[in-house]
Structure 1
Amino acid sequence: MPIQAEGVPRKVADPFDFGGGHIEPDRAVDPGLVYDIDPKEYTRFFNCTLGPFDDCDSYMGQLYQLNLPSIAVPDLKDSVTVWRTVTNVGAAEATYTAAVEAPAGVEVSLEPSTLTFSGGGSRSAAFKVTFRAMQRVQGGYTFGSLTWLDGSAHSVRIPVAVRTVIQDNVSDTC
């Protein structure tokens, strides 16, 4: 049977209920890539969600850009582009290729789809992910993932959650 979420009403669990993955301690010691973020970004995010502060208007429009190891787009009308940066903490020379599992009803494009790190080059690489609504519905969240693979030991997966909308301010009903 499918995993059931706790709470009322009962429903089949989704990634919001059971999380983004499993912990494997041996692999955690050598993750390959990490999504590094400056703690000041968390502070700014927290402060701007509490109320209007200086520069929050422009910042709140960029919340998709918080360099988290996940991507959530709660209001996809047409298209949204999200940027992420990964830092190579593995071998100095490495090449990672992306594998994308698109959420249902959403087209996902990624640039670049390959990240190459060289011994003398930068240890960080930025990439952009563009989400385009293929179904014009006021829907619930659909889920997918983005995985960076180096062809050997590393598989760096982040969950993706997208909710398509037709118009703003339509409440969800149970």
Structure 2
Amino acid sequence: MPIQAEVVIRKLADPFDYGGAHMNPDRAVDPGLVYDIDPKEYTKFFTCTLGPKDDCSSYTVPYLRNPVTVWCTVTNVGPLRATYRAAAEASVGVNIAVNPLVINFKKGSTSATFKVTFTARHRIQGCYIFGSLTWFDGRNHSVSIPIAVRTVI
């Protein structure tokens, strides 16, 4: 039997019900990359007033009609020289473009900014679809964040 959400009207559970991912405690002590966020951004997150240039460890686009772009900054806390590649996983109906797709950290550079653009493939009134954005170095480090997008007419 599929997982059911605990709500008045029974429905199949989705990431809003059971969470977007899990944390591996053994790898948490050496994450490689971390998303920058400060206390002011936490306050904005909890009051639902984050803007497109505020960093957050997830992306939610509740009304995707026209392309939406967000900017994020990550900090390398792993080896001084590291290369990370982005892999975006999206459901049918949404394009996710990451620029740049590759981030190179060299000695002395610790942070990098990238942008993520969400574009609806179809003009439909849809329900939420889910995906993720993962940065990986091809060795030991990968950092994923969940994505939730809903297209509208």
Tell me which residue corresponds to 1:13.
13
Q: Tell whether 2:132 aligns with 1:134.
A: no
Aligned to 1:82: 70
Match of 1:155 in 2: 142
DSSP 3-state at the match of 1:159:
strand
Partner of 2:90: 102
Segments of structure 1 that go 5 or more residues without pairing to the other structure are 50-59, 167-174
RMSD after superposition: 1.7
TM-score, scaled relative to structure 2: 0.92
* Cα offset, 1:76, TM superposition: 0.6
Deviations 1:72-91 (A, max 9, x none): 11111021111111111111
Q: Give the match for residue 56 of structure 1.
A: none
How far apart, CA to CA, are the structure 1 residues paired with 2:31 and 2:14? 25
Q: Where in structure 2 are the equivalents of 1:30-41 lying within 5 Å?
A: 30-41=30-41
State the Cα distance separating 1:48 from its structure 2 match: 6.8
Q: Identify, as 1 or 2, the structure richer in helix.
A: 1
Cα distance change of structure 1 residues 48 and 69 upon mapping to structure 2, 3 Å threshold = closer
Change (3 A) 1:46 1:84: closer
2:37 corresponds to which letter in structure 1?
I
Max Rg structure: 1
- Structure 2 spans left out of the alignment, 5+ residues: none
C-alpha displacement at 1:112, in angstroms?
0.1
What whole-Å deviation, never above 9, does each CA across 1:55-82 have from its counterpart, x for those lacking one?
xxxxx5x623321111111111021111
- Deviations, residues 88-144 of structure 1 (Å, cap 9, x unaligned): 111111000011102320011110000110112x21111111111111111111011
In structure 2, what is the equivalent of residue 116 of structure 1?
A: 104
Identity fraction in percent: 62
Indicate how the Cα distance of structure 1 residues 109 and 47 shifts in structure 2: closer, same or farther if over 3 A, else same.
closer
Residue 52 of structure 2 aligns to a residue in which SS? helix
Distance 2:127 2:52 in 1: 18
In the comparison of the two structures, how many residue pairs are matched?
A: 153
TM-score, normalised by the number of residues in structure 1: 0.82
